[in-house]
Structure 1
Amino acid sequence: MASTSRKRSHAEMEWNSLITCSVCLEEIENPKALHCLHSFCLKCLKRVQHPPGRFICPLCKEQMPLPPAGVEGFRDNFFINQLRDRKAIFRIGEVIQPCTSCSVTDQQVTARCVDCNGFLCQQCVGLHNTIAPLKVHTVFTLDELRSGTVDMSKVMKEECCQKHKDQVLRWYCKTCGIPICRDCTVIEHTRPEHDYVTIESAAEGQLAEIKNLVADCEGISKNVNAAITEVNKVKVRLDVRLTKASKQLKCAKRKAKAAYLKALQENVKTTTDQLNTIKTERYEKIENEKTDLQHKKSKLSNALEMANLVMNSGSTYDVASNYSTLCQTLTQLKDIQPAGINHSLSEVKFTLSQMGSAESVNLGTVLSRCANPKDRNGKWVLQKEIGKEGHGKIKHGNGVAVDPNSSDILITDFGDKNIKVFDSDGKYTRVLQGNFETLHDVAVSSDGFWFITDQSSYVKVLSPDGTYLRQFPAISPDGKSSDSEGSYLYGITIDSDGNLLIGSLNSYISKHRQDGTHISTVNRNIFPKFIGITSQGRIVCTGMSNTNAQIMDHMGNLLHTINKPEDAKSWCPCGVCCSDDGIIYVSNFGGIGDQGGIYSFTEDGEYLGCVTTDVTYAEGIALIDNDRLVVVQGGFPAKIFSYMM
């Protein structure tokens, strides 16, 4: 009983959406199928307004040619009528279903006759068993039909030709692509002009083709769903950052002195208008992308639902009559390639400025990632050197990271085998000693945990107070751990989801959660000495010697190569970091007769310009609040550069 109930529930859920007219919200009467595979009542289609010679689907809004005979010329969907009868089999007992034979409403319907194509009460079932012409009819009890043991496609009466009403459609004209009857083969579809086969043999091949198209489109449907998920993520991140920027603006407003109030309010309005303009423009772009994807998803879902029902529940006639439309629609849909959402749409930030005079209050600047990085007008100037002397002297620095909470600067000093910590202004605060080998790079999580590579086979994990917690290896593409293959680890960074990306000497990048759990690994043709993550989630890595830096997607597919700038004497890219407004900064270690420099590029690898050549053998670099750049120099003090408008 439970099994029958489940089958009934499953069948009704599958059929309800197809047999319900989306215009009148009732079961479809005289169903007509449009080219988009949606079906409606004929009477409802007659009420729909449409342009001359065209018809617009009331549900998905797809336009199509209007048949010469009007909406009545659209294909009859006999499959819908059969689904209504199948649903009725399960609903008898809940609603009154008169006997098709005697039309007596107070007699309980108990069976269905295949030959009569109707429901029978117990008295009429008895007549079928006693009257000679009726004894040859095939009769199934409702219990047999509900049990799922009967092939439902054999229960429904074969469809008759619309032109020759007494002839069953048992042939398929391959030339015209429609089911035909015996009379059709000798009148309108004669050989050799027309090639026809039995409807069973035609449906067999058509069903296989539909299955192949369904398999292709199901994969595309998954891609579209994934793309919609990405769109939603971008919308959420945009809302969070818009909220954060608005809160920062309000905070700055509260801190302003009374003398600045009038100018302050004007500046607040201007800046708020900027944020609202960005919000309006971005929302429109995101919603347009989402609407387009939802439209594609709707078309895919509708086509797949119809195709699966025809495959799983349809008769040979159903397969044949739906074949042309299904194949045409599925062929178009299987080529859908959902374009990836531009993640930079979620990038917006408010940066504070120093208070000016009462006439020129300026709380800060709205930085929109969608702005062209080339439009930045300003220059980088040396603010100060750090680690030059005393306890904080850097013997030989390598990697650098900035704590996202405190903006403290962490520099790995492999000469002293320790990590030196400076505040955001470059003042030395403390040193972290540990059981390190040759220190290389460091990354800091949003909750203050330190992740360190020291050219050993393990990532070392330290708590915010510097206490050693654990270590874990990277994982190669073939599943080997870096300790088992003797691979040294170099570059390390943290992406926007809080996951670690770790570069191995064996030319791969291993992705892990912060507890060390392995997520994935991508192969590279250079070993990642330093790694950066752009605002769009792209991976940027540099190698050793004179190899170019590379920009790749999260799967490790190479997107762009950062080549040697024309104004650089030599090219040995080393450190890398990325700003919120879409700029990639790469340090150039230099070569013989060239002490290197720092250069900027777009996220597509396009060269923007030279930041500075006032460096000596630049290695790791990091940004402080997006407008200050700290650079580690091999064997020399580190430097902080500030961006000045």
Structure 2
Amino acid sequence: MASKMASDELDEEFLTCQVCMLHFRDPKILPCLHTFCKVCLEEWATKQQPLECSICRIPVSLLEQGVDGLKTNFYVNNLLDFVAAKKGAEPGVPCQVCEGNVEGSKSWCADCGVLLCESCTAMHRKIPGTRDHELVPQDVMTAKDGADRFQRKRHCDKHKNQELVFYCESCNALVCTACTVIDHRPGKDHNPVEITTIAQKKKEKLQELLQDMDPRLKEVQASIDEVDKNMSKLIPSKEEATTQAKAYFRQLADLLEKREEEILRQIDEQCRADGKALQAKKEAIEFELAGLTSAQTFCQQAVEHGSDVHVLEVGNQVQTRVESLLAKELDLESNWNEFQFIESTSVADFAEKVKNLGDLGSVIDVTKCQVVVKPAVEGFQCIAVLTTLNQIGRPSVTESIAAKANMKDPSGASLQTQLQMTSGAVWEISYVPKVTGNHRLEVKVNSKEVAGSPFDIEVQSRHTPVLTMGQQGSGVGELDMPAGVVVDQDGNIAVVEQRNKRVQIFDLNTGHSLRTFPVEGKLPYDIDVDSYGRFLVTSFGNNYRVRCYSKEGKLLNTFSPGCMKQPLGITVLKDGRMVVADISEQSCFLLQYDGSLIREIGKGKLQKPRFTAVDESRGMIFVTDYTFNKVFVFDLEGEFKFSFGEKGEGEGQFRSPMGITLDRAGNIIVVNYESGRVQVFRPDGTFIRTVMTVKGKCPHGITLTPDGYIAVACSKGQCIEMYRYN
């Protein structure tokens, strides 16, 4: 105890077990220093394993003795004795020995644990077996510091009449005088010391700990005060933020309403202007109609009812009038188009932008902030993505000056970095490494390093894959003869495995397998994704087909037009049409979204077409021909445009071209099956550069990721390799 407890300050709660809510019965102390009745703990232990403190929820590991192995709280026992003795010393309470003498002062025997009247106290002092017992008079029990002076003596479990007055340091046990003669005789194995000496040392140590706890208590209390302070600000802060948010979005809504009114006004004004123009047009046409009708009526009357003399008199005049009317060029077109509202920004695009309108700024917790490091390649712009989060792990916006990034190259020299907020609490850290090797990126928010900082980034050569997915096998994350590859609608890598007859989806950033689903067909080959996120998979050999699967891998449809024999490469257009290369038919087929044939393309030009790519903006189809070592180019109408490439190892030459894809500029990326070279050509077929040489064996399909990496399916390397493209 840090201070003495007055006899009138005893709290019933301090003496009450928090389980049974009664006065403690044989109180036991848990390692967390909370006290409970022995019987309560024993019952509790039968219901819960491991045992937990019901107050602080700290697990308790019981020894072999179970609850009996826990220390007894003798201080609480003394207090219980004191309360009982104090109550017994009140007037009208009989002596606990003679059961009489309710009047007069009483004493408490600390050895026997009983309350004695004056007569029994005198007798107690005369009997040889009790004359040395410690008796506590009534004035001590009623004194303010009586609780601290009231101590029941502890006796030896083995020698019942012996008080515990020694402490064996070797055994860490309290012993009596008899024990020091028999079981704990001083020597090399035992070292009994008077309790007073050891207790004083322990008190001094505990006093030091108490002094050490004071600053910690102040720190914890200050933290509680800070939490209370923040709690008091919680509702006002919420109300202020709510008011600001409502005002902000009300302004945005007002802008939208204003724009709506402006468009509606334009429609009204255009309607009035068009109405006037159409009315004037109508009147002009009606005027011409009236002239024609009048001339027609006059001419008809002359023909049907006029005499010969009358016809001859007016015939020339009528003829001239009618011929002039018929020869007159009339503008009979209304030249009016229906009103058409144009969505300059689609609702879907606007919905994406709306996600970045406003945000909740709160205290950034650097221990919760996340940094995702993208694969880094020498000489290319590389990025890491920082997401700032608050204490509960939610995205939280911070000012640009609060986020800092510093990078060191392998020599320790600084490398320039740039930070740019891409959306809300997401920051893009960009840099261009000049050398390969380990670089170190330090990221700070509000001058504190985020969790995991500094980050070690291994910068690779452009000819080294930044990420390799898979190895040979049929398990999760393993591949067997990967062929076609594509980026799915969620930005992950989907690959077709010929021998495992399945599609496997990999996380683009980590390379971890996310899921697989089986596909039909003897030899599945290529894969593409339509605008709805569905997978289109080709297969050749027996049971050849083009099959459509849902994002989850459920078979939705099967296409097998009569013209198709051995489909390989496939490209799906935005409107659902498909371009399929057929190695058996030595041509490509342009199919409707339902699989029906639109036209055959390349017949007589192609010999062994493998993979296809389509530039929809220019209406061009690109086809790799494995035998001719060329890329053939056709338009969507099926007309041959040109071809490029020849057999060889030089620039612009091919050794069995396979996978083909396009970049955003329309440049053509082609991988060679035999040499593994990946080359880039302009849309007209002019060679630009060699990107790299694939390390894995026998590359097949390739695809370009949105963030500028080439994914190559290596059929005999049993992996997918990722290389930096731009």
| TM norm structure 1 | 0.45
Larger RCO (CA under 8 A, 6+ residues apart): 1
Whichever structure has more helix as a proportion of its residues is 1
